């Protein structure tokens, strides 16, 4: 199967999964916890992002700070994002571990370190995701929010471009706001 067909099939699958999860009010439709849905969103964000440097075999999704996902990220660990296998890591801001990530979820416990994290992400081409209040307006590339018991997201496209990341227009069309 050629690469174009694989990319097309991957995109269709991602759109279907994202579309299926977007209108879902997590409190009404299913007892699925909020962070299980956020994990599904993050997986789809990976499918609609292009990095300046492609990793050969893995795409590292790192959790920075306290992990609010419990075991929810295990549902997406090992899944394919293009040709790469999604790997979940827990990292700290100090050291070089953060620079080995292609995506980072910034937990609320790291809010005080946000400027330093965003600097590293911009330099290293890391997609930043957080569910902090007004995250995208503070420079995080994708801010997850819960609004009327639904998961929504905002995109800071300027921040993504400064990190040399390309976020698909298909994903941007589904965002609540693009800055």
Return the sign of the alpha-carbon dihedral for residues 91, 105, 114, 102: positive
* Best CATH choice for the domain 33-178 from the list 3.40.50.2300, 3.40.470.10, 3.20.20.70, 3.40.50.360: 3.40.50.2300
Q: Is 120 left (phi over 0), alpha (psi -120 to 50) or beta?
A: alpha
Q: Over the stretch 24-45, which tens digit does the pLDDT of each residue have? A: 455 444 546 899 999 999 999 9
Report the pLDDT value the prediction gives residue 23, as an integer from 0 to 100: 44
52 token code pair: 């300046």
Q: Which residues pair with 161 in a beta bridge?
A: none
Q: How confident is the model at residue 54 (pLDDT cuts 50, 70, 90)?
A: confident
CA-based radius of gyration for the chain: 15
């Amino acid at each position: 199967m050629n690469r174009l067909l694989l990319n097309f099939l991957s995109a269709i699958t991602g759109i279907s999964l994202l579309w299926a999860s977007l209108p879902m009010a997590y409190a009404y439709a299913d007892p699925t916890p909020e962070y299980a849905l956020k994990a599904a969103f993050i997986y789809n964000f990976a499918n609609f992002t292009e990095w300046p440097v492609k990793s050969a075999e893995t795409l590292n999704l790192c959790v920075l700070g306290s992990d609010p996902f419990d075991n929810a990220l295990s549902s997406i660990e090992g899944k394919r994002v293009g040709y790469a296998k999604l790997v979940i890591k827990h990292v700290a801001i100090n050291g070089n571990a953060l620079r080995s990530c292609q995506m980072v979820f910034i937990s609320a416990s790291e809010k005080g370190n946000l400027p330093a994290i965003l600097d590293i992400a911009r330099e290293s081409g890391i997609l930043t995701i957080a569910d902090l209040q007004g995250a995208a307006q503070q420079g995080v590339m994708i801010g997850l929010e819960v609004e009327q018991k639904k998961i929504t997201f905002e995109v800071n496209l300027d921040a993504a471009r400064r990190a040399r990341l390309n976020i698909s227009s298909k994903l941007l069309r589904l965002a609540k706001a693009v800055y």
